[in-house]
Amino acid sequence: MEITRKVILLSFVSLLLMGAGWPLKEKAGLTSSFGEWRDGHLHAGFDLPTGRTNKEVYSVTDGWVMRARTSPWGYGKAIYVKDSLGRVFVYAHLSSFAKDLDKRVRGEQLRRFSYETDLWFKKGEMLMKEGEMIGMSGRSGCLSPHLHFEMRDKGNNPIDPLVRGFSFPDTIPPVIYALRLVPLDDTATICGSHLGIIVPVRKDTPVVSIKGRAGLEIEAYDKVNGHSGQLGPKEIELYLDNQLVRREYFDRFSYMYTGDSRLEFDYPYRRRTGRKFRRLFTLLGNELPFYEGRDGIFTSKDNGLVSIIVRDGASNEVKTQLFLENSFSRQVTPREEIRFEKAVNNVDKIMILNCGILIKGLNSFRWIKSGKIKGIVKSGDSILVWNIRRKRYPSYKSPDSRCILKPSSDAIINTDLVSVRMSPVRIAKDETRWIWEPTIPLNKRTPLEITLPYESSYYSIYELNGTEWKYCHTHKEGNKLKTTIDHLGTFTILKDSVPPVISIKNHYFTLKVPLMVYVSDSLSGVDFYSIKTYINEMPTVFRYDLQMDRLIFEYPGEIAQGKHTLNITLKDRQGNKASGEWEITKGD
C-alpha cells in the first residue's frame, strides 16, 4: 500500500508540472466516484454534473486524440486523449465533438451506414492542447446529463483521478450506514440467525454473538462539498482489538477483472433489497487488487472489539465499532432432522441460501443445513435442490426437464446449494417461470437452455428484473431456446409477435430544433442494428437515444431547406418488422 501511495504522489507531481486542467469551466460537484459498483462492472472514473447538455468540455492536458467512439449505450459519444507520459484521459456521454473530429466521425458513420463507430487515430494525427475545447457535454448513452471523466495508466488500467491532481474541495467525512454479518457455513449463526443480521451504527458499541464462520460487510458512502451524490469510499481498514486485520484501497484495477465487482459486493442481498453492502472478505474468484491482509472472516474464537475506519480521498475519516462474543443465549436450535420432501407445502415459504434452506412455518423457522442434504433432492413436481459441494454435475435440469443450466467444469459457483423451482407466469398463463437460487453471480457466462413445448419463431428467453421481464439475447435451434447468463435468477419464455411502433410528433425541424422520431416496442425491445433511415431515398444515420426511445437527426445541415421524404425500417429483437414513410420539412 505504501508503494501505491508513492506512485500516486509521483503522478500528482508530474501532473502539477504539466499544468493539469479541469474538464469543465466550473467545479459544480461530483455525482459518482472511482470504484463504485455498477451492474456487472466498476465505475472507472468520476462523474461531473452539468445540469443540462451542451456545456463546453476541455482537454485537461496536452496530447493527441487516440480514439473516438459513438454508441447508443455505454459511454455514448466518447473521446480518448493520450498524453506524453502514455496516460489516457476519457471524456464520455458527450453530445458532440469538436468540429474537425466531428467531421471525421460523421464521415465514418455515413460510410458504415451505422451510428455506432469506433475510430482510432495515429499519434500526432489530431493534436490536443490543454484547455482546448474537445466537445460538448451531453447525455449520450445514459439518462441524465453529466460528464464522465476517466484517467488510465500506461497499461490502460483505470486509476483514481481524485488523488492524482484532479481533486475536489472535500471537508465532509464518509458516512457508515450499517454493518452486516453473514453466516459462511451451514452451522454458522449470527445472534441465532442463519440469515445474518444488520448492525445499525449508533453511539454505543453493539454486542454481537457469532457461532461458526461469519463474514463482515459494510454499507458506507462519501460526499464532497457542494453538489454531491452518494460516492464510494477510498479506503477501509478493519481492526480486531487494535490489530490491523485488513485494508482495502480502491485506486486501480484491470478491465479484465471489473466483472468481479459482483463478488466485491453482496450481489444476492442487493437483488433482494436494493442496498449495497461491500464485503470485507474475498470470495473465491475475486481477482480485484484492492486488498491487503487477511479476510474479514470471524469465528467463535474471535472475541473482542472490531473497529472499522472508512476514509475518502481527502483523508476525512469515520469510525464505528462492534464487540464480538461467543455467547449463544439467543441461539435457537433448528429442527434439522426434518425431511425436506415433507417440509415443502408451499414453495413461497422456502428460501434457498448458500449454506442451507430456511423454511417458514406458522410461528417459527426451520433450518436445514446443506450438509444434511443429499446430492439431489426433489419435492413433488415443483422444486429441485443439488448439493454441489458433494458433487458437481455437467448440467442441472428443472423438474419438468425444460430448463437446463450448463456451467463449465471450471466455473466458480460460490454456494453449497443450487436450486430450481417452477411457478406460473402472471402475464402469460400458459408459460412457466423457472427460479434458480440463490441469486449468486457466476464468474463466467453460463449457458441456459429452455425447450419450447411446440415450434414457434416468436419466443425468446426473458429474465425477471424487479417487476419487469428483460429480454435475454436468444439463439434458437429447433424447439430449443439458448442464452448465456452471468448470475442465477428467474427466467421464462415469452411470445412477442407485435411489431415496434414508429411515430413523428413534429414533421417540421430546423438547425436549432432537431427532427426526432419516436420508436418503441412492447416487449423484446428495438434491435439497434436493424435501424435504417433514408432521406429522399439516400441513406443517412440518426442517433438512437435508447433511454428516451427516439431517433434524432443530428446533422440537419446535410439537407436543403424545404420538403423531403423520410423512410425508416427497423425490427425488434424478436424479428418483428416495422417501417414508415413521412413527409418532413426543414425550415430556416
Residue 93 in contact with residue 139, Cβ under 8 Å? yes
Q: Give the burial class of 110: count Cβ atoms within 10 A of its Cβ; 0-12 exposed, 13-18 middle, 19 or more buried.
A: middle
- How much is the pLDDT for 313? 94
Whether 214 and 237 map to the same domain: the answer is yes
Residues 276-318 have pLDDT tens digits of 999 999 999 999 999 999 888 999 889 999 999 999 999 999 9
Residue 293: which CATH number?
Answer: 2.60.40
Look up residue 426 and give its amino acid.
Answer: R
Whether 127 and 192 map to the same domain: the answer is no
Cβ within 8 Å of residue 112, ≥6 positions away: none
- How much is the pLDDT for 71? 97
- How much is the pLDDT for 426? 67
Residue 330 forms part of a structural domain = no
Whether 232 and 305 map to the same domain: the answer is yes
Domain range spanning residue 152?
A: 2-163
Residue 81 forms part of a structural domain = yes
Q: Does residue 340 have a pLDDT over 50?
A: no
Residues 69-79 have pLDDT tens digits of 999 999 999 99
Whether 465 and 549 map to the same domain: the answer is no
Residue 141: which CATH number?
Answer: 2.70.70.10
Whether 257 and 188 map to the same domain: the answer is yes
Residue 170 forms part of a structural domain = no
List the one residue out of 356, 350, 416 whose CA is nearest residue 379: 350
Q: Collapsing DSSP states into helix, strand and coil, what is residue 138?
A: strand
What distance, in Å, lies between the first and last C-alpha atoms of the chain? 61
Of 431, 466, 495, which one is at a domain's C-terminal end?
Answer: 495
Residue 561 forms part of a structural domain = yes
Residue 335 forms part of a structural domain = no
Residue 25 forms part of a structural domain = yes
Cβ within 8 Å of residue 122, ≥6 positions away: none
Report the C-alpha gap between 382 and 131 in whole angstroms: 64
Of 495, 527, 556, which one is at a domain's C-terminal end?
Answer: 495
Provide φ and ψ at 530, rounded to 5°: -95, -10
Whether 561 and 476 map to the same domain: the answer is no
Residue 422 in contact with residue 383, Cβ under 8 Å? yes
Whether 26 and 133 map to the same domain: the answer is yes
Residues 450-477 have pLDDT tens digits of 999 887 889 999 999 988 999 999 999 9
List the one residue out of 277, 264, 271, 324 whose CA is nearest residue 178: 277
Split at pLDDT 50, 70, 90, the class of 347 is: very low
- How much is the pLDDT for 18? 38
Whether 130 and 217 map to the same domain: the answer is no
Whether 468 and 573 map to the same domain: the answer is no
Number of domains present in the structure of the chain: 4
Of 443, 465, 495, which one is at a domain's C-terminal end?
Answer: 495
Q: Collapsing DSSP states into helix, strand and coil, what is residue 163?
A: helix
Residue 334 forms part of a structural domain = no
Neighbours of 354 (CB within 10 A): 20
Whether 383 and 294 map to the same domain: the answer is no
Mean pLDDT score of the chain, rounded to an integer? 90
Chain center to CA of 338: 40
Look up residue 436 and give its amino acid.
Answer: W
- How much is the pLDDT for 341? 40
Whether 151 and 22 map to the same domain: the answer is yes
pTM: 0.90
Report the C-alpha gap between 122 and 256 in whole angstroms: 25
Residue 424 in contact with residue 431, Cβ under 8 Å? yes
- How much is the pLDDT for 327? 52
List the one residue out of 258, 202, 223 whose CA is nearest residue 443: 258
Q: Does residue 346 have a pLDDT over 70?
A: no
- pLDDT greater at residue 12 or residue 78: 78
Residue 331 forms part of a structural domain = no
Grid cell, residue 477, equals 435451434
Residues 77-127 have pLDDT tens digits of 999 999 999 999 999 999 999 999 999 999 999 999 999 999 999 999 999
Residues 185-205 have pLDDT tens digits of 999 999 988 888 999 898 899
Residue 443: which CATH number?
Answer: 2.60.220
Which residue do the cell numbers 474464537 mark?
Answer: 301
List the one residue out of 238, 208, 233, 237 whose CA is nearest residue 223: 233
Whether 158 and 199 map to the same domain: the answer is no
DSSP alpha helices (H): ranges in 206-296? 261-264, 267-273
